[in-house]
Amino acid sequence: MKILVVGSGGREHALAWKIGRSAKVEKIYCAPGNAGMQGIAECVDISATDIDGLLAFAVAEKIDLTVVGPESSLVKGIVDAFEARNLRIFGPSQRAAILEGSKVFTKEFLIKYGIPTASFKAFRKIKEAKKYLQTCSLPLVVKADGLAAGKGVIVAATMKEAMDAVDLIMKDNAFGAAGDTIIIEDCLVGEEASFLAFTDGKTIRALPTSQDHKAIFDGDKGPNTGGMGAYSPAPVVTPAMTEYVIDKILQPTVEGMAAEGRPYKGILYAGLMIDGDKINVLEFNCRFGDPEAQPLLMRIESDIVEVFEACIDGTLDQVEIRVDPRPTVCVVMASAGYPGAYATGKVIKGLKKAAQLEGVEVFHAGTRRVGGRVVTSGGRVLGITAIGADLAEAIARAYHGVDRIQFPGCYFRRDIGGKALKRMAGAGNRALVGNVMGSDSDLPVMQVAADLLD
Ligand code: AMP
Ligand code: GLY
């Protein structure tokens, strides 16, 4: 089969890597791809949102299956355009991708189908939004309705921050038309987790649990990013919770979308807030998470192309997702300044040395090739992803990979996976923490473990 992967981030590199392991695949194309994907696929210079261009390419090259990474392409209707030309493509239609494309739609949908989420109100006028704010207790959350590249959510601790957030979205139009409507919602507390599942519109097959690290700094401090690292499984999600999420969140969502005339197939990604045994939906995404895809795809043993095809054909009930029980961790290496302004064009060294480490994969995100060199070209540059016999080993391996790579202005969090170690140590699993302590590193994640042993 000839497969086209749409996108250019770490998620898409991991998708191309996993697709390349399928016995069914002869050739992979990526549009537009990155320097890492060039090693395993042919990259074609078509933007992920140039649907006409992608369609013309897929027709000309007789692509058998297209797999879409980013939400922007899905919300723009890439699946509908391909299906209209009888091309096979994995992902939700435009009508179904609204679950990520409009937060107002999703909040109203969640309430209608009795799925737990924070209470909210939607506003189209600044004056009304501000008047309502004055009646609210703090903290609260202000959100742009539409896609805003992960930046359209502001958690406001003070009334001034909340008012400023309304101005930023509605007056300064920081996110363009995505901010024509806003949501003001209650602030939830707890620990976040990512819960992804494949669906063909009827059957749901959950992927393993995972957790992202959205904030830029260690200890979950600073502004939110697209994600600075992730690991799987996430012990905050217990097996009982997994059952609850499938039965009370994902199943009613898939059934509800069908009832709304918006049948949903593809990846359904629920962003969850877990507080004790209370679970609320923060958001839905209509695609793989980035960086969650990197550790998740490393754990999936099944032929991923068969799973994609089953989602398209409505035969997911006949497919089992086999999962490697060993945990995986992805540490994102970013350009200094991200998620704000950052420089690009910095030469990256040590990529081969890192990739030689046992159990380590170096997934590229913002990279490109200039002459014989690989240089930075984005905020998130690489995702060093590792598998280990236990979480401690996976963390140690990922950071050993990070240690071998350098580029000017490189920044990464040093505590990826620390929260899971802490939780497991709290549950009495001190041997595991001992393994991290023995890994001879001064990373804060090890400090988290050390504090627990005191
Ligand atoms: P969303 O795009 O809705 O997932 O929001 C992005 C991030 O903002 C989430 O991952 C949370 O960290 C935070 N967030 C969103 N909604 C809430 C909420 N109601 N309470 C607390 N934090 C939230
Ligand atoms: N890592 C969060 C997301 O992909 O939305």
pLDDT digits (tens, 9 = 90+) for 272-328: 999 999 999 999 999 999 999 999 999 999 999 999 999 999 999 999 999 999 999
Which residues, in sequence order, are bridge partners of residue 331? 229, 384
- Region 260-275 average pLDDT: 98
**Arithmetic mean of pLDDT, 343-360:** 98
Please compute the mean of the pLDDT values over residues 332-342 and round it to a whole number. Answer: 97
Predicted confidence at residue 453, as pLDDT, reads 46
Ligand nearest to the CA of 285: 2
- Kindly state the percentage of the chain with pLDDT values over 90: 91
pLDDT at 68: 98
What does the pLDDT read at residue 402? 98
227 lines ligand 2 (CB under 6 A): yes
Q: Is residue 430 over pLDDT 70?
A: no
Residue 117 scores a pLDDT above 60: yes
Residue 114 half-sphere exposure toward CB, CA atoms < 13 A: 5
Nearest atom in ligand 1 to 103's CA: 3
What CA–CA distance (Å, rounded) separates 201 from 92? 9
Q: Which ligand is nearest to the CA of 189?
A: 1
Q: Which of 275, 283, 284, 285 to mutate to test the pocket of ligand 1 (most atoms within 8 A of CB)?
A: 283
Q: Measure 142 CA to ligand 1 centroid, in angstroms.
A: 9
Q: Which amino acid residue places its CA nearest to atom 19 of ligand 1? A: 187
Any atom of ligand 1 within 6 Å of the Cβ of 147: no
Q: What is the separation of C-alpha 145 from the centre of its chain, rounded to a whole number of angstroms?
A: 19
Flag whether pLDDT at 434 surpasses 60: no
Q: Which pLDDT does position 423 carry in this prediction?
A: 87
First to last CA, the chain: 55
Mean pLDDT of 67-86: 98
Torsion-angle region of 167 (φ positive above 0: left; ψ -120 to 50: alpha; else: beta) = alpha
User: What pLDDT does residue 452 have?
Assistant: 47
pLDDT at position 382, please?
A: 98
Cβ of residue 290 lying under 6 Å from some atom of ligand 2: yes
Cα 292 to ligand 2 centroid, rounded to whole Å: 7
Give yes or no for residue 447 having a pLDDT over 70. no
Give Cβ neighbours of residue 93 (< 8 Å, ≥ 6 apart): 77, 79, 80, 83, 262, 263
Going by alpha carbons, the residue nearest to atom 3 of ligand 2 is 289
Q: How confident is the model at residue 443 (pLDDT cuts 50, 70, 90)?
A: low
**Binding site membership of 270 for ligand 1 (Cβ less than 6 Å):** no
Tell me if 285 CB under 6 Å of ligand 2. yes
DSSP code string of 69-101: --HHHHHTTHHHHHHHTT--EES--HHHHHHHH
What spacing in Å lies between the alpha carbon of 212 and ligand 1's midpoint? 12
Q: What is the mean pLDDT of residues 401-409?
A: 98
The most confident of the ranges 139-153, 406-420, 421-435 is 406-420
Which ligand approaches the C-alpha of residue 230 most closely?
2
**Cα 333 to Cα 70: distance, rounded to the nearest angstrom:** 20
Contact 100, 147 (CB under 8 A): yes
Nearest-atom index, ligand 2, CA of 292: 1
Interatomic CA distance for residues 436 and 432, integer angstroms: 7
Output the pLDDT for position 448.
Answer: 57
Q: If pLDDT is split at 50, 70 and 90, which confidence band does 426 have?
A: confident
The residue contributing the CA closest to ligand 1 atom 5 is 153
Cα(36)–Cα(13) distance, rounded to whole angstroms? 7
- Write down the mean pLDDT value for the chain: 94
pLDDT of residue 425: 81
Torsion of CA 269, 214, 74, 324, to 10 degrees: -50
CA neighbor of 398 nearest in space, from 379, 376, 420, 369: 420
Binned at pLDDT 50, 70 and 90, residue 29 comes out as: very high
| Reduced 3-state DSSP string for 153-180 | EEEECCHHHHHHHHHHHHHCCCCHHHHC
- How many CA atoms lie less than 13 Å away from 172 in the CB half-sphere? 9
Is residue 92 within 8 A of residue 264, CB to CB? The reply is yes
Structure confidence by residue, pLDDT tens digits, 55-73: 999 999 999 999 999 999 9
Q: Is the CB of 283 under 6 A from ligand 2?
A: no
Q: Is the CB of 289 under 6 A from ligand 2?
A: yes
Going by C-alpha positions, the residue among 348, 378, 86, 113 that lies closest to residue 248 is 113
Share of the chain above pLDDT 70, in %: 94
- Which atom in ligand 2 lies closest to the alpha carbon of residue 291? 1
What token pair was written down for 93? 């239609």
Proximal ligand: closest to the CA of 280: 1
The H-or-E segment that residue 209 falls in is: none
Q: What is the pTM of this model?
A: 0.95
Ligand 2 center–CA 285 separation, angstroms: 8
Q: Tell me how far the alpha carbon of residue 405 lies from the centroid of ligand 1, in angstroms.
A: 32
In three-state secondary structure terms, 350 is coil
